[in-house]
Structure 1
Amino acid sequence: MEWALVMHADQRRDVDQAPFVLHPLEVASLLNGRDFSDDVVTAGVLHDIVENTSVTVDDVERRFGVRVAALVAAVSDDPSIKDYGARKAALRDQVAAAGAGACAVYAADKVAKVRELRAKATQDPSVLHGAKLEHYRASLEMLRAATTGLALVDQLEFELWALDVLPPSQPDNRQFTAG
């Protein structure tokens, strides 16, 4: 966690300007709460470090070993693919091929991201109709096909269902006065 805190120190989440590191820590918490191995939980903490910092997969391997590095690599976008849809489709294929641990980290990431999307929708409802949400829905389909019995997939399905059935509303900024 210390390394993630240092590497993500200057980054902020778009939705609330909170320290970005809260996202990977939430992912790790989701994994830890379901008794995944230390390697999977560690990969959860580090899952965005290659995409969002100067850290390489080789750096991760030197610090945390081959297994953690392989999981982080499996859930990291290929930056050479410029088209968003193609890049995310390649990522889903990469995760599915990498096995249960990578699917768990990926599912936890998507659960956390859909929650952030829900919060962002209170400020900008248009985010509920974009390519990012379609990627999350396609990710759910991939995870359903690639795994069995992974509770995080059920949780992702619930979070997406809640966006459809119980969409967030704009905050009510009216002032109430005692009277």
Structure 2
Amino acid sequence: MSSIPHELAPRALAFAVRCHSGQRRSSDGAPFIQHPLEVARLLRDAGCSEAVVAAGLLHDVVENAHVAVGEIADRFGDDVAALVDAVTDHSCIESYRERKQVLRDNVRFVGGDVALLFAADKISKVREWPRHRRREQEQLQELPPHSRARRYLAHHHAMRLEHYCKSLAMLERVAPEHPLVAQLADELEHCSAPDRAPLL
């Protein structure tokens, strides 16, 4: 295990802010950095180590800012880099469903802190669900009934919900007693129940 550099989380925060500068959340247009900040707070409040909190801050810099995993290792150590790498989507897999299945399988295989990082990420994403829903409803109003674009939007909505539900099922097997997993279950039940009806 590599040593943890001094003041890891503050440096990870500064780096994440720089990497995500100008990026916006698709759900509501808020600064994207709010998402990794929320993930890091969830991990901190759950008693996770500074390395895991730092990984929470950095978990999207490979996917969204094209930072190499090797650069994360150089700046923040191998442990943080391994955590980030384990929850990063494989963009080379074109199919959304297959890509998310590979991601869930990897989290299940590694387990431990990776599962907690993944759970915190999903809690934050599920909390965005109502905003995504409102945005999708606004888009639907502009689309002709029974159009391909309308069907695509409904399909994407359904696949995202499926991924969240399958993520919870996987986490309940990997870390059934952890409070973050219970919190994800509560958030998913609260936020998605009104949205299970088809968008069409």
Interval of TM-score (by shorter of Structure 1 and Structure 2): 0.7 to 0.9
Letter in 2 for 1:145: R
Residues matched between the structures, number: 168
SS for the counterpart of 1:70 is helix
After TM superposition, list the pairs within 5 Å mapping 1:39-58 onto structure 2.
39-58=51-70
Aligned partner of 1:27 in structure 2 is 39
User: Whose RCO is larger (CA < 8 A, sep 6+)?
Assistant: 2
For residue 163 of structure 1, the aligned residue among 165, 170, 191 is: 191
Aligned partner of 2:164 in structure 1 is 136
More deviation in 25-34 or 129-138? 129-138
Shift of 1:129: 4.5
After TM superposition, list the pairs within 5 Å mapping 1:29-178 onto structure 2.
29-125=41-137, 129-165=157-193
Aligned partner of 1:174 in structure 2 is none
Letter in 1 for 2:163: H
Verify the 8 A CA contact 2:25 2:31 in the aligned structure 1.
yes
* Alpha-carbon spacing, 1:49–1:113, altered in 2? closer, same or farther (3 Å): same
**Deviations 1:124-168 (Å, cap 9, x if unpaired)?**
35589521111000000110111132111111111111134455x
Letter in 2 for 1:106: F
Verify the 8 A CA contact 1:127 1:133 in the aligned structure 2.
no
Distance, in Å, in 1 between the alignment partners of 2:135 and 2:94 is 28
- How large is the RMSD of aligned CA atoms in angstroms? 1.8
Shift of 1:123: 3.4
Aligned partner of 2:150 in structure 1 is none
Q: Select the structure that is richer in helix.
A: 2
Verify the 8 A CA contact 2:129 2:192 in the aligned structure 1.
no
Shift of 1:122: 2.9
Aligned partner of 2:14 in structure 1 is 2
**TM-score (norm: length of structure 2):** 0.79
Unaligned runs of 5+ in 2: 1-12, 138-153, 196-200
Q: Percent identity?
A: 44
Distance, in Å, in 2 between the alignment partners of 1:65 and 1:17 is 32
Distance, in Å, in 2 between the alignment partners of 1:156 and 1:128 is 21
**TM-score (norm: length of structure 1):** 0.88
* Alpha-carbon spacing, 1:82–1:127, altered in 2? closer, same or farther (3 Å): closer
Letter in 1 for 2:34: L
